[in-house]
Structure 1
Amino acid sequence: MDLDTIRTFVAAAEAGRFQEAAAGLAVTQQAVSKRIASLERDLGVRLFTRTPRGAELTIDGQAFLPHARELLRVAERAVASVRPGRRPLRVDVIASRVAPSGMMRDFHRAHPGTELDVVMLFDIETAVAALRSGAVDASFRAVGVPGRPLPEEIESVRVLDEPLQLLTGPAHALAGARSVGLAQLAGHRIWMPGIVPGTEWGAYYDDLAAEFGLTIEATGPNFGSDALLDTVADTPALATFMGEHTRVVWPAGHGLRRIPVTDPTPVYPHSLLWHRDNPHPALAALRAHLAATRPGRDAPGTWVPGWVVPR
C-alpha cells in the first residue's frame, strides 16, 4: 500500500477539504482526488462523501482512519530506526577479554549517552564483509594480512600497539625474571592453541617466530583461556604470549607470572576499520576518542611485521 496515498487520505480526513489537504501536502487538488480514488479502488469501498462543506468520511472511512494513522506511525518508526545517530553504534571487538573490548569500555565511560552494540566476529574477512554490508559500523583488527589488502572503501587507523608479555607457570625456567629478551626465548616452547592459520593473528605470530627463531606451537584443541592457564600453570616446559591489556583471572594457587618481553618488545597492532561512507555520528566520536586517548605507534624498541602499517 502506497504511503503517499495513505498520508493523503489522513490529511484529507483531518482537513475536511481536499483543497486544504493539497495545500498542506504541497500538491494539487487534482493529485489529492486521484490518490483518494486510487485508494478507494484498492480497498473496494468509498472513504469520503462530497458535501457543500467539503469531504466527510463515510463509515468505512472512519473505520479505516485509525489504521491509516498507525501505518504512518510504523513507517516513521522504521525510518527512525536506521537514521544516523538513532540506532546503536555496532562495533566488533573480536573477543571479550582482549584490548579492543577494554577500549570500548573506556569509550562507553567517556560517552555514556552513546548506545552501543558490541559483537565478536572471528576473522578479518568476516569483519570486512560486515563493514561493507553495514552489519557493523567498526571493527578492531591487525591490518592487514599479507597478500589481502583492504577494499578501497574500507578505511583504517592504527589505534594501539599492545606489548606482548610472556605468561609462565611458577616452575618455568624464566618464572623469576623481571623481564625477558626475545633472544632468550629461543628454545623455549610457547604454546598458543588459539592461533588459526589464515587469520591476521596467525600471520603475526608466524612472522614473529620466523624473525626471532621462536618455537610457537598451536597444537591440540583450543578449550579457551581457562584451560590454557591451567596447562601453563601445571607444565614447567610451556609458556604462552598474552597481550598486556588482556584481562584474565586465575586461581591463586596457579602462581602464574606475567613477564614483560624486551629487546625488542613485540607489540600487537590494533587498528580500527570502518566503511568510508558510514554516516553514524558516534563513529566519528569513537575515532576522536581513540586518537586522543591512545599513544602513538612505532615506539622505539618495539617490533611489528611490516605489513601491519595502515594505508
Structure 2
Amino acid sequence: MPQAQDLEPRLLRAFVAVATELHFTRAAARLFIAQQALSRDIRRLERELGAELFVRTTRQVMLTADGERLLPYARRVLDAQDELAAVFADASRPLLVDLNSEGMTTGRVLERARALAPGSELMARFESGLTGAAAEIVAGRLDVSFGRYAGLESSMRSHLEHQLVRFEPMAVLLPADHPLAGCERLELDALAGERIYAGAGNPRTLEWTDLARRLFEGRGIEIAPPAPVALGKEEFRRIMAKTRSPVLAVTEFPPMPDTVLRPLVAPVPLSPLSLVWRRGLRHPGLDALRLAATQLAAEEGWLKMIPGAWLPDTDRSLITDNR
C-alpha cells in the first residue's frame, strides 16, 4: 500500500465505521451522516491510498486484504487524535449530565461530585432513557448519562466508556387500589397475567424495555402497550389512572400520587446502573463523578451482588469486563 500523506481523520473515521459495521447504511447512521456522503469519503480514501478497501456486492460488504491491513493503524490514529483533542479541551466549560429523576442514585452521585469539584460546573438535565442520551453523547450535545450500558447497540458502545455504579433492585409501581397493592413485597410469579409498562414505544428507553422483556420471558408477564410519556407527577397520576398498568421501576423510584411501590423478589431482579460518557472525554467534572460513584458504591455496598439475584447474561459479561 502506498504511503499516505495528510489523510483527513474524517476519511479514516468513515473507513473504521464501515469496517466495523460491514454495512454502509448502519455505518452512516452511526456517524450521523448521509449514506451518499459516507460512500464519497470511502471512495476518496481509496483513491488517496491507491488501494481498494472493501469488496461490495448487493448482499454484503467485506474488507479486502488492504482493508484488513489498514484497520488497526486507522484505529490507532483516531484514538491518538481523540486523546489529543481531550488534552486541549476546555475544562472550564460546564459538564452536562443527564439524570432520570431528582434524588435516587444518580442524584446522589451528582451531589457528591459537586462537593468534590466545587470549581467545576456540573449542569443537570432530567430526561429518562440511556438509548436517547447515548446518541446525544456521541453527537456531542451531552456529556454524561446513567443507565443500562449493556442495553445499547455494540456500534454505539464503541463510542462510549462506562463505569458500573450500582446493582439497583427492581420494583413495580402499582395503582393504590390494585389487588396486589397490599403485599409488602411481590414475588415475580405473582405478576403472571399482568401487563407491566416498561417504556414500550419510547425510542429513548429501548435498553429498559429490553431489560423488562428479558425479565418477563417465560413468566407469563406481558409488556404493556405504548403510553404517552408523562412529565410531572400530576400527568403520571392521570396516565396511570387511565391505563391502570403497573410500571416497572427500581426501589428508589420517587413517590407518585395514588400509587404504591413494591420491591420484586423470588428472585430479586437487578438493574445494572452505569455512568456513561463519550470515549476520550477529559474533564475534571467527569473525574469527580467517577470518584463520587466509587466512594458511594463502597460506602453503601452498591456493587454487592445479592445471592440468587437475577441479571441478564448480556449484562454479566460486560460487568465482568468493567470491574
| Superposition TM-score, scaled by structure 1 size | 0.61
Determine whether 1:137 maps to 2:150: no
Question: Is the contact between residue 84 and residue 281 of structure 1 (CA under 8 Å) also seen in structure 2?
Answer: no
> How far 1:296 sits from its partner (Å)?
0.6
* 1:86-113 Cα deviation digits (max 9, x unpaired): 1222222245576434432343355444
- The 1-side partners of 2:92 and 2:235 are apart by 41
Question: Is the contact between residue 194 and residue 222 of structure 1 (CA under 8 Å) also seen in structure 2?
Answer: no
Q: Secondary structure at the match of 1:285?
A: helix
Question: Is the contact between residue 182 and residue 264 of structure 1 (CA under 8 Å) also seen in structure 2?
Answer: yes
Which of 209, 229, 233 is equivalent to 1:202?
Answer: 209
Unaligned runs of 5+ in 2: 1-87
Question: Is the contact between residue 264 and residue 303 of structure 1 (CA under 8 Å) also seen in structure 2?
Answer: yes
Number of aligned residue pairs: 225
Letter aligned with residue 292 of structure 1: Q
- The 1-side partners of 2:247 and 2:157 are apart by 33
> How far 1:190 sits from its partner (Å)?
2.3
Show the counterpart of 1:162.
Answer: 168
- The 1-side partners of 2:221 and 2:191 are apart by 7
Show the counterpart of 2:65.
Answer: none
- The 2-side partners of 1:308 and 1:88 are apart by 31
> How far 1:288 sits from its partner (Å)?
1.2
Which of 263, 272, 277 is equivalent to 2:275?
Answer: 272
Letter aligned with residue 190 of structure 1: I
- The 1-side partners of 2:260 and 2:98 are apart by 30
Determine whether 1:229 maps to 2:232: no
Show the counterpart of 1:70.
Answer: none
Show the counterpart of 1:77.
Answer: none
* 1:43-83 Cα deviation digits (max 9, x unpaired): xxxxxxxxxxxxxxxxxxxxxxxxxxxxxxxxxxxxxxx85
- The 2-side partners of 1:86 and 1:172 are apart by 51
> How far 1:268 sits from its partner (Å)?
1.8
> How far 1:215 sits from its partner (Å)?
2.0
Which of 64, 84, 94 is equivalent to 1:88?
Answer: 94
* 1:233-267 Cα deviation digits (max 9, x unpaired): 688x64222222222342xxx3x322121011122
> How far 1:221 sits from its partner (Å)?
3.0
- The 1-side partners of 2:192 and 2:294 are apart by 36
- The 2-side partners of 1:307 and 1:168 are apart by 28
Aligned pairs (5 A) from 1:31-180: 84-96=90-102, 99-109=105-115, 111-120=117-126, 124=130, 126-145=132-151, 148-180=154-186
Show the counterpart of 2:189.
Answer: 183
Note closer, same or farther for the CA distance 1:83–1:232 as it changes in structure 2 (3 Å cut).
closer
Unaligned runs of 5+ in 1: 1-81
Determine whether 1:286 maps to 2:292: no
> How far 1:270 sits from its partner (Å)?
1.3
Identity %: 25
> How far 1:144 sits from its partner (Å)?
2.1
Question: Is the contact between residue 180 and residue 262 of structure 1 (CA under 8 Å) also seen in structure 2?
Answer: yes
> How far 1:142 sits from its partner (Å)?
0.8
Question: Is the contact between residue 109 and residue 292 of structure 2 (CA under 8 Å) also seen in structure 1?
Answer: no
Bigger Rg, structure 1 or 2: 1
Note closer, same or farther for the CA distance 1:126–1:261 as it changes in structure 2 (3 Å cut).
closer
- The 2-side partners of 1:191 and 1:261 are apart by 15
Letter aligned with residue 143 of structure 2: D
> How far 1:161 sits from its partner (Å)?
1.7
- The 2-side partners of 1:184 and 1:288 are apart by 40
- The 1-side partners of 2:153 and 2:175 are apart by 37
* 1:179-229 Cα deviation digits (max 9, x unpaired): 111111112232345653671112111111214331220344334453443
Note closer, same or farther for the CA distance 1:130–1:300 as it changes in structure 2 (3 Å cut).
same
Show the counterpart of 2:221.
Answer: 214
- The 2-side partners of 1:129 and 1:238 are apart by 29
- The 2-side partners of 1:145 and 1:249 are apart by 27
